[in-house]
Amino acid sequence: MSDQQDVKGFSEESLIHWLEQHGIPSYRAGQILRWIYHKGVYSFSEMTDLSKDLRGFLSEWLVISRLEVEQVQTSEDGSRKYLFRLQDGQHIESVLIPEPGHWTLCISTQVGCGMGCAFCLTGRGGFVRNLEPQEIIGQVCTVRDDLPGEIPLTNVVLMGMGEPFANYQNVVQAIRTILGNNGLQFSSRRVTLSTAGLPPGIDDLGRDVMVNLAVSLNAADNDTRSRLMPINRTYPLETLLSACRRFPLPPRRTIMFEYVLIAGVNDAPEDAERLARLLRPLRAKINLIPFNPFEGTEFERPDEGVISAFQKVLMSRHYTVVIRHSKGADICAACGQLSPRSRNAKASPVPDSGCSTLDGGAQSPGLIKGA
């Protein structure tokens, strides 16, 4: 039926409401969701604790979507980049990252991005559209079903394509499903949302759902940050950090501040000193990300000695500082390299020649309806 609705697009509350409107007891919502998210089924016919008549009714009115994987690339370091084709022909990418004893999945929240950060390939194509909750959740479900070996997927980071706070309602609904007992059952300590710095979204997130917060900072003065990140012209550092101070942190949690190190732009010892002073009032962890080059960029990655010196300044000021040597660079899966146009071709190596935004022919519909 053309008016079938996608179950993954429902929150648990809205599914209960839909069922009750059709004379179906509310407890059935939990059964349906557990079949989908705990057992990974894509057909109502597999839900054996539902009556045959109910399964037939649900199949008539609802679908269980599956994202179409158009391409998977595997890096030399074991990272896997998934290119998904959506129902309208648009594309998004997710990256599965190997960690000791577990996997981390980096997922997207928009097709493209409207933030226009100068160091990020994703933003060069501009914003296309927001992802629906089922498209955000579907990345986790599809990759989980495709996991290589017995190592579990335990961590999800919303750090892929798009600005999560620019798609707030859909993102929060998806997060609630990712965390929910009748959803994917991830721990809130293992789900992280990264923002370019939208203070209203930080305030809303602190009120609505508890996950880890990461802020893409990248400069400790407004002039440099505005040059790198246009959003700083609307929400300068003072406004952003005020929102960070308001964000409710459970005991022993910190806000992660991400800092892309760019040669000759923000990597001097004086920049590190400014950053240390700027974050002093906050419970902060600093994640240094050496710039990942891509085709057409004017920026360069700093030398290892410069990166190490920057870290040492911050550590001398008693910050926890991690240098993130991004995985998947050889397949354009590193931080800042995702692009909806990089399909059907092998990525160029990095940093020798940078990553290309490659184009190719799309093939079949993106949401496979499995009811």
Active-site residue set: 93, 335
Cβ-based burial of 25 (10 A; exposed 0-12, middle 13-18, buried ≥19): exposed
* Residue 216 token pair: 């893409």
Question: What ranges make up the beta strands (E) of 262-371?
Answer: 284-290, 320-323, 367-369
Give backbone dihedrals phi and psi of 289, rounded to 5 degrees, phi first.
-120, 100
Distance CA 252, CA 257 (A): 16
Distance CA 206, CA 248 (A): 6
Q: Are residues 218 and 272 in contact, defined by beta-carbon separation less than 8 angstroms?
A: no
| Nearest CA-CA partner of 122 in 297, 257, 240, 353 | 297
Amino acid identity at 306: V
Q: Is the peptide bond before 351 cis (omega within 30 degrees of 0)?
A: yes
Half-sphere exposure of 339 (CA within 13 A, CB side): 21
Distance CA 196, CA 203 (A): 14
Alpha helices in the chain (DSSP H): 12-21, 27-37, 52-61, 133-145, 168-179, 199-208, 222-228, 237-246, 269-279, 304-316
Distance CA 205, CA 165 (A): 9
User: What is the maximal distance between C-alpha atoms in the chain?
Assistant: 70
* Burial per residue of 330-343, b for 16 or more beta-carbon CB atoms within 10 angstroms, e otherwise: bbbbbbbbbbbbbb
